Structure 1
């Protein structure tokens, strides 16, 4: 009986241990991609965004971290916009982001399909965006006679700071190192950034005249790379 009990206990321990994996608690990464603006200006345009991230891994599939962005957001056209508005914003931003991956919620060990999609995630954050207009139509063309000497001046600021809320949807593709640890990630991400204020396009025109009703927004579609490092912690599932 004693030998049988010991064998059962040993077998359970082996099964439990085999169902665990180790992971690194920290990661950093970078990425680039195009963005598109959706502001009070009639038509947005394509710009670019570069970013860097530093994440703390509560688990392999739950993270909280910092993201910094630098890029160019633009929109409008002095010739085709109904109000002759046009802007280029060389912006920077810093946000705190939390992400939850599908692997935290599902049992993917017995399904190849679920295993392959465990890196799908959603996330939410908050932070600050620093807007700096490198080019903007501040005076409406051909209004000098009515608004001397330079014409009608569009309200707004060339430099400003606003609160920004990023919403993330994406996918992490995990790559193991030579020791079997998840060490690298290739990341695909779509991010909608909602700003609170009128600084993203540099215009703060009257709502009743310019139909200025919704928060300014820009979306980023990026490809990135991440590297895991730091202390190792065990996780209840295999990775």
Structure 2
């Protein structure tokens, strides 16, 4: 009788352990795609940047629900300067395209978000790093200072190229807000993203200034702030914690 009692106790504990382990896991889709857009601002050799726009499409592979590897394509307009107000009477417009690969790590991967309601709500916060190529297409630029310029009228041409390819390094900070479908899966994502993109070259503004004449020591950068939507799909994977 004691043996039977021990067996029953053992089986009960085993089923409780298995049930608890299964309950502590969830399923998720391992891919997503999406699109979005917003505004950008440039920080280049031109004295002051201006507001432009950025649109994007993205495809991500989810290693876990909170760690992704992805590809992002961008199209937009970057601009800066003003022929009338710029100290050197310069301005440019760049209708660019870009492609990058990136990795993102979300807060939910590194914290126990069930410890508090606040952590659960912000588990979609993330940081990311990437590398890619930007295709610069300068459609409007001042190469020669106007005759009415306050200093050095008619100076030029300013060196640089209208069409260039440069490497770039995008840095991302953002937030994913998850919406479940009717079956309880994380299926839809509303995304807020701030990206600062460092370009390795002098093509973003079309000016490749001689350092003896201009302060040209910093890389050309543009920052974008976007709102997007993503849809999760693909194979269903198991995650170690409840989502």
Runs of 4+ in 1 over 2 A off after TM superposition: none
- Is residue 2:184 matched to residue 1:197? no
Aligned-pair Cα RMSD in Å:
1.5
- Equivalent-residue separation in structure 2 for 1:168 and 1:208 (angstroms): 34
Aligned residues: 236
Gaps of 5+ in 1: none
SS of alignment partner, residue 87 of structure 2? coil
1:171 matched residue in structure 2: 175
Correspondence 1:1-239 to 2 at 5 A = 1-142=6-147, 151-239=155-243
Name the CA distance, whole Å, in 1 between partners of 2:118 and 2:155: 62
Give the conservation status (yes or no) of the 8 Å contact 1:183–1:228.
yes
Shift of 1:143: 8.9
Q: CA deviation at 1:209?
A: 1.5
CA distance in 2 between partners of 1:141 and 1:153 (Å): 11
Structure 1 residue 142, shift from structure 2 partner = 2.1
Q: Report the TM-score, using the length of structure 2 for normalisation.
A: 0.95
What is the CA-CA distance between 1:138 and the residue it aligns to? 1.3
- Unaligned ranges ≥5, structure 2: 1-5
CA separation in 2, counterparts of 1:237 and 1:187?
22
Structure-1-length-normalised TM-score? 0.96
